[in-house]
């Protein structure tokens, strides 16, 4: 059976059974990364272009490794080394890249909507690697995979997402995905970092972290996105850390089997301390490992692989 979509732009576009298909297929791709020879011929002859107009460590590297492990050819372009700095628009760049016949474009862009526009206009597959505050669908899929791997289920889990919800595409994609799969979500942030219209989201909201900790199965800390904070949203990082930072004392308030997650990059000492980030409850590096496997699954499906893979 083939995957019905050319592109992956948003978790909002996927049905629950489609998310489950992606998660179920990912274990077999993860196994490839644990072999001595980490390469299979699944995408031999395919070309994946990575267009990153914002900085990235995890997403860019994991897409590149995922493509290479499936034997696709890859090439990457970032804003600083491209003709973007000479005034070329993103859509002109996209048409020019398309003229070189890639099979897939992975795009990260600072503003919402560009990946969807590219997907509508270009014949190749387009995968959204994060667009503005809109969505970061591959991050949410790797997060959900990591939860399912750890707990054996997603339905019924209580997931606290803590921090800068307003500017977080990771929070949005996780909310959409986790709710579709039957998890409860509680968003924790100061009022100033909650987006307008939050009351219409299908989630609980708390402006206090401490009462949420003993109830949550997953505590997902978000980075304070300094590059997107163009006004004063809280009085300082010390105060933010005092009220919303995950530290040793707060880790001790968590349920005994609860886990700590963070999409990265972390601001150690702001939203999370060393002893929380590096504690036995942290599955942050599992998230990173699973990022490669999820992106192998998504490249494989987007480029025409069948759902029943052995
Ligand atoms: N989680 C995430 O998107 O990390 P990068 O910005 O390093 O890709």
Write the pLDDT tens digit of every residue in 164-184. 999 999 999 999 999 999 999
Residue 282 Cβ contacting ligand 1 at under 6 Å: no
Instruction: Give the residue, by CA position, lying nearest to ligand 1 atom 6.
Output: 56
Point out the ligand 1 atom lying closest to the alpha carbon of residue 57. Answer: 7
> What pLDDT does residue 46 have?
97
Q: Please tell me the distance between residue 37's alpha carbon and the centre of ligand 1 in angstroms.
A: 26
Q: What is the pLDDT of residues 275-308, one digit of tens each?
A: 999 999 999 999 999 999 999 999 999 998 777 6
Residue 80 Cβ contacting ligand 1 at under 6 Å: no
Could you tell me what percent of the chain has a pLDDT over 90?
A: 88
Could you tell me what percent of the chain has a pLDDT over 70?
A: 96
pLDDT for 196 beyond 60: yes
- For range 40-50, the mean pLDDT: 97
pTM above 0.85, yes or no: yes
Rounded-to-integer distance, Cα 65 and Cα 33, Å: 9
Q: Please tell me the distance between residue 60's alpha carbon and the centre of ligand 1 in angstroms.
A: 8
> What pLDDT does residue 232 have?
64
Q: Please tell me the distance between residue 243's alpha carbon and the centre of ligand 1 in angstroms.
A: 25
Query: How many of the other CB atoms lie within 10 Å of CB of 195?
Result: 15
Point out the ligand 1 atom lying closest to the alpha carbon of residue 130. Answer: 3
Domains of the chain: 11-135+288-302 (3.40.50.1370), 137-283 (3.40.50.1370)
> What pLDDT does residue 160 have?
98
Q: Please tell me the distance between residue 263's alpha carbon and the centre of ligand 1 in angstroms.
A: 7
pLDDT for 309 beyond 70: no
Residue 264 Cβ contacting ligand 1 at under 6 Å: yes
Residue 128 Cβ contacting ligand 1 at under 6 Å: no
Among 59-63, 203-207, 232-236, 286-290, which stretch is predicted with the lowest mean pLDDT? 232-236
| Tokens 């206090």 sit on residue | 208
Residue 47 Cβ contacting ligand 1 at under 6 Å: no
> What pLDDT does residue 2 have?
83
> What pLDDT does residue 86 have?
87
């Amino acid at each position: 059976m083939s995957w019905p979509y050319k592109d992956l732009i948003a978790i909002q576009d996927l049905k629950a059974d489609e998310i489950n298909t992606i998660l179920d297929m990912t274990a077999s791709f993860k196994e490839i990364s644990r072999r001595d020879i980490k390469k299979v011929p699944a995408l031999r002859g395919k070309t994946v272009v990575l267009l990153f107009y914002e900085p990235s460590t995890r997403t860019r590297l994991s897409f590149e490794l995922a493509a290479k492990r499936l034997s696709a050819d890859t090439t990457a372009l970032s804003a600083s080394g491209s003709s973007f700095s000479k005034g070329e628009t993103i859509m002109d760049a996209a048409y020019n890249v398309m003229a070189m016949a890639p099979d897939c474009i992975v795009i990260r862009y600072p503003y919402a909507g560009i990946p969807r526009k590219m997907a509508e206009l270009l014949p190749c597959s387009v995968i959204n690697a994060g667009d503005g505050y809109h969505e970061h669908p591959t991050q949410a899929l790797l997060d959900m995979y990591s939860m399912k791997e750890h707990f054996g289920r997603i339905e019924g889990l209580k997931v606290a997402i803590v921090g800068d919800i307003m500017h977080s595409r990771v929070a949005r994609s996780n909310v959409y995905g986790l709710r579709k799969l039957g998890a409860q979500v509680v968003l924790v942030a100061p009022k100033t970092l909650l987006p307008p219209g939050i009351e219409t989201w299908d989630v609980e909201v708390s402006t206090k972290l401490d009462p949420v900790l003993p109830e949550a199965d997953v505590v997902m800390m978000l980075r304070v996105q300094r590059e997107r904070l163009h006004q004063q949203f809280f009085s300082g990082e010390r105060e933010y850390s005092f009220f919303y930072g995950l530290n040793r004392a707060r880790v001790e308030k968590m349920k005994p089997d609860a886990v700590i997650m963070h999409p990265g990059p972390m601001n150690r000492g702001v939203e999370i301390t060393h002893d929380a980030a590096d504690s036995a409850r942290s599955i942050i590096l599992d998230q990173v490992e699973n990022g490669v496997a999820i992106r192998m699954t998504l490249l494989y499906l987007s480029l025409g692989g069948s759902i029943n893979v052995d």
